[in-house]
Chain A
Amino acid sequence: MISVQNVHKSFGDLEVLKGVSLDVEKGEVVSIIGGSGSGKSTLLYCINAIEPINSGKILVDGVDVHAKETNKDKLRQKLGMVFQQWNSFPHMTVLENAALAPRIVKKMSKEEAMEIAKKELEHVGLGDKLDVYPTKMSGGQQQRLAIARALAMKPDYMLLDEVTSALDPELVGEVLDTLRLLAEEGMTMICVTHEMGFARDVSDRVAYFHQGVIAEIGEARQVITDPQNPLTQKFLSKVR
């Protein structure tokens, strides 16, 4: 379980998270929606300790993420993350991209790492691209590679930061389908997204972020189709 407790986070004078609390149970899919600058991506960065927090607490399976004594590199193995810009490693083949972390972080043998990587690449539909370099692939394919690369570490949670925002419209579908598949398989996910249809259909709950706080959170279909907070109503009327 991921438990975010009253987290505050500032960049200099700018406070981007103003007391955010959110519990995500194992197996749950939670989508975070909201305008740009509302702090939704920052929350993901704080959950996997890429960004430090100013106050509050984030627990992942009971471990305090930001405590000094926490081994953050070890903790991140549990938290797969996929970014808006897919960040494939351009100097490695698709297979090497996915096999690197299992090999050097989990110290698997080369064969074992390759085996797992191959399985995950087939999982996201890139089984025929193993020896291709990522720069030769479309954004959608690279984003699926990023998902497979994260999955190869066998994470317990996936953090997805606007993974379709930088894609050409016709490529969005294939990535969302991959995420849908993961959701069906019971992967716990926190998705920051602008895809309202995806948030409504795939997630269990939706949280609406407004100026650093969660303005509304509830059952996915209810928040998207029948928002209670006027701020959520206003936001949704604009993005539709």
Chain B
Amino acid sequence: MDYEFHWNIVFQNMPELLNGAFVTLHVSVLAMLLGVVIAILLAIAKMNNTKFFCHVATVWVEIARNTPALFQIYMAYFGLGAFGIHLSPYVAVLSALVFINAGYLTETFRGGFQSIPTTQYSASKSLGMTSFQAYRYIILPQMLRRIYHPMTNQFVWSILMSSLGILVGMSELSGTTQRLQSLSFRTLEFFIVAAVMYFVITKLVLFSSSLLARRLFKGEI
């Protein structure tokens, strides 16, 4: 192997890389939060008897889950651009990730909800609880335990998928890496460091989420 590694240039540009990593985390967290909120609404719509809302939710979920993330980012950036709606790279990637997160999480939430036996609700009611109390104390806490890990996975997925921002010129970790390596021609070094940073970010997310889980869910399930 006659490739000579030069790491110095990478470390000189560390502040910029860290800044990119921050943008990556930023867009993923936001995409997750908005995705969760929309997914709750879509899951309710899907379980609702009102046909219209149910159809809207179904179409959303089907498109989000059965088309490549890359296309969705292109649609948000170039597609909407063709109609005169110009989103910044950040907003385009954010909207695409929210769209996909919401689609996947809808099914996670619906499955989690339906996995709680209806008899848990009857048992709660038989103790004199109101519907609100039955959901607040019995149904939702159990549901949260079941959807917690799929939700964490979705979060990790959206951190990694935000790297597609590179394709629409977003300055997250991958976009920044791409720019810096093309200025310095130290392709391998920059991408290795970026990969390590992705790894560290996702591991940190997984670690803190399991810490949180241990605090939240003391019981067995």
| Given A90-B142, A93-B219, A135-B220, A104:B137 Cβ within 8 A | yes
The reply to whether the CB of A109 lies closer than 8 angstroms to some CB of chain B is no
A76 in contact with B125 given A92-B219, A104-B137 (CB within 8 Å) = yes
A80, B123: Cα distance in complex, Å: 10
Whether the Cβ atoms of B219 and A101 lie closer than 8 Å is: no
A residues near B122, Cβ cutoff 8 Å? 50, 83, 87
CB distance from A239 to the nearest CB of B (A): 26
Report A2 CB to chain B, min CB distance, Å.
15
Partner of B129, one of A48, A50, A93, A101: A101
Of the four ranges (under 10, 10 to 19, 20 to 34, 35 or more), the interface on chain B belongs to 20 to 34
Binary contact readout A104-130 vs B (1 if CB under 8 angstroms, 0 otherwise): 111000000000000000000000000
**Does residue B127 face the partner (Cβ distance < 8 Å to A)?**
yes
A240 proximal to B (CB < 8 A): no
Residues of A within 8 A of B119 (CB): 83, 85, 87
If A79-B126, A93-B219, A104-B129 are given as contacts, then 17 extra A-B residue pairs at C-beta distance below 8 Å, sorted by A number, are A50-B126, A73-B129, A74-B128, A83-B122, A85-B119, A89-B120, A89-B142, A90-B142, A91-B221, A92-B219, A101-B127, A104-B137, A105-B127, A135-B221, A136-B220, A150-B127, A153-B128
B164 at the interface (CB under 8 A from A): no
- Sort chain A's interface into a size bin: 20 to 34
B108-142 residues with Cβ-Cβ distance < 8 A to A are: 117, 119-120, 122-123, 125-130, 133, 137-138, 141-142
Could you tell me the distance in whole angstroms from the C-beta of B103 to the nearest C-beta in chain A?
A: 28
Q: Which residues of A contact B52 (CB under 8 A)?
A: none
Task: Return the 3 tightest CB-CB contacts between A and B, nearest first.
Answer: A87-B123, A81-B126, A101-B127
Do B133 and A104 touch (CB < 8 A)? yes
Chain B residues closer than 8 Å to A90, beta-carbon distance: 142, 219-221
A235 at the interface (CB under 8 A from B): no
Which chain A residues numbered 122 to 149 have a C-beta less than 8 Å away from chain B?
133, 135-136, 146, 149
**What's the nearest-Cβ distance from chain A to residue B129, in Å?**
6
Most buried by B among A73, A80, A85: A73
Q: Tell me if B120 and A87 are in contact (CB < 8 A).
A: yes
User: In whole angstroms, what is the CA distance A208 to B145 when docked?
Assistant: 43
Q: Tell me the bound Cα distance from A150 to B128 in angstroms.
A: 10
The contact string, 1 if C-beta is below 8 Å from chain B, for chain A 65-94, is 000000001101101110101010111110
Which residues of chain A are within 8 angstroms of B123 by Cβ–Cβ distance? 81, 83, 87, 89, 146
- Chain A residues in 8 Å Cβ range of B199: none
Contact of A217 with B by CB under 8 A: no
Residues of A within 8 A of B120 (CB): 87, 89
- Report the Cα distance A93→B220, complex, angstroms: 9
Alpha-carbon distance A85/B117, docked complex (angstroms): 11
